[in-house]
Amino acid sequence: MTDTPATADLVILGGGSGGYACAFRAAELGLSVILVEKDKVGGTCLHRGCIPTKALLHAAEVADLAREGDQFGVKSSLEGIDINGVNSYKDKIVAGLYKGLQGLVKANKVTFVEGAGTFVAPNAVEVDGKRYTGKNVVLATGSYARTLPGLEIGGRIITSDQALNLDYIPEKVVVLGGGVIGVEFASVWRSFGAEVTVVEALPRLVPAEDEWASKQLERAFRKRKIGFKTGVRFTGAIQSETGVSVSLESGETLEADLLLVAVGRGPNSAGHGYEEAGVAMERGFVVTDERLRTNLPGVYAVGDLVPGLQLAHRGFQQGIFVAEEIAGQNPKVIDEAGIPRVTYCNPEVASVGLTEAQAKEKFGGAETLVYALSGNGKSQILKTSGGVKLVREPNGPVVGITMVGERVGELIGEAQLIYNWEAFPEDVAPLVHAHPTQNEALGEAFLALAGKPLHVHG
């Protein structure tokens, strides 16, 4: 396209959550924007991450409800999983959202350049031999599914990228990694009828969460007959025509149809010219200050490329922040601890702020309270167990909220407002929570922490 402008106020390399949010907000603020993306706008989150995995998790929830209808007095049974139907449902959601994003690119008058971009100078990105120059440049090339040294992806050894497009349901799976991605896929496959074992080198599942949450999740996984081995390292995997043998440091060997490698995501920084152009890097990540500025003038970085939580909504908010920063609006710095985190397995784990251990380290102590969902009417209707854990700075505001249970991800909105508002228990306790909702569990927890517990036993 010869009529594509080659200069703009802002050139963005990468069209994922951070890149497109930055593009749209900058365009709203009157800046001209060139958005470079080698694949599809929406990035990992829309096409290979958050959205398709949550579609699978919802299908898994439907499967569980069909299988367990008797406990609600509903005569239902699970005849089986039509994996092609599940994939069709998933792909339709992704396609609809993708179409909407493409429309927003046009509506915002963002110049979209399709192709692999290389950062060639502090103010320029090159695509297929053509140079695009911006007064400012934003690096937003995201992340990729990591593996371990010597563990080659292929055949029966897969990452989440391949797992999302399987056209069959494995009978036996080993999941390497008990973090967010690992436990989500373990949950899906178990609901679909597979035998699953999670292997995690650290002492507990979801090790980044509060230890209480790990214990709750492990108890639920035992009940669901999801196997897990924690505190044990992987040493190797051998594929055959019929399966894969997974060796552990303990000397144990696990046999499975598939090995899912879910050991986290690495920064997608190689091959984009960052180091060559002089961008400060650390372990492959682009280093920025709290205002997301790199060491080069006029060059910013957002999303999974920047050290910290690898979450789509973090990248999205950072994209908005950078657009406003460039437009001279002096936006408020994003508090990383104030970003909500949700693991969408069954049961869900949702948290914001500090864990109990982090609070004790930061403040020299912490006051905690756990409210069990057994005291919550709606949770009993849903037949879910779990709870809400509050962590308070001694005589100060609540600095951490962690929840475990079905659908608790939907409660994190109020929780993140409470944390970011630096609320005291006495600030939240008088607020009225609708009955019967799971939201009440938050209200009850704050009533108890404020010294006036009502539906609390023991």
187 SS3 class: helix
- Cα 58 to Cα 64, 84, 171, 272, 409: the distances in Å are 10, 15, 20, 36, 13
DSSP string, 345-391: SSSEEEEEE--HHHHHHHHS--EEEEEEGGG-HHHHHHT---EEEEE
Position of tokens 């309270």? 369
| 256 three-class SS | strand
Q: Evaluate whether 290 touches 318 at the Cβ level (below 8 Å).
A: no
Among 275, 231, 318, which residue's Cα sits nearest to residue 17? 318
Catalytic site residue from 433, 435, 455, 457:
435
Residue 358: beta bridge partners? none
CA distances from 126 to 15, 116, 150, 274 (A): 15, 8, 34, 12
What is the spatial distance between Cα 57 and Cα 46, in angstroms, rounded to a whole number?
15
CB of 388 within 8 A of CB of 371?
Answer: yes
Q: How far is Cα 158 from Cα 167, in angstroms, rounded to an integer? A: 14
Asked if residue 5 has a cis previous peptide bond (ω within 30° of 0), the answer is no
CB 374 within 8 A of CB 438: no
Tokens of 124: 């320029």
| 58 is a catalytic site residue | no
Cα separation values, 204 from 180, 196, 400, 405, 429, Å: 12, 17, 20, 18, 33
Residue 213: count of CB within 10 angstroms of its CB: 25
Residue 27: CB partners within 8 Å, gap ≥ 6? 33, 108, 109, 110
- Catalytic (active-site) positions: 435
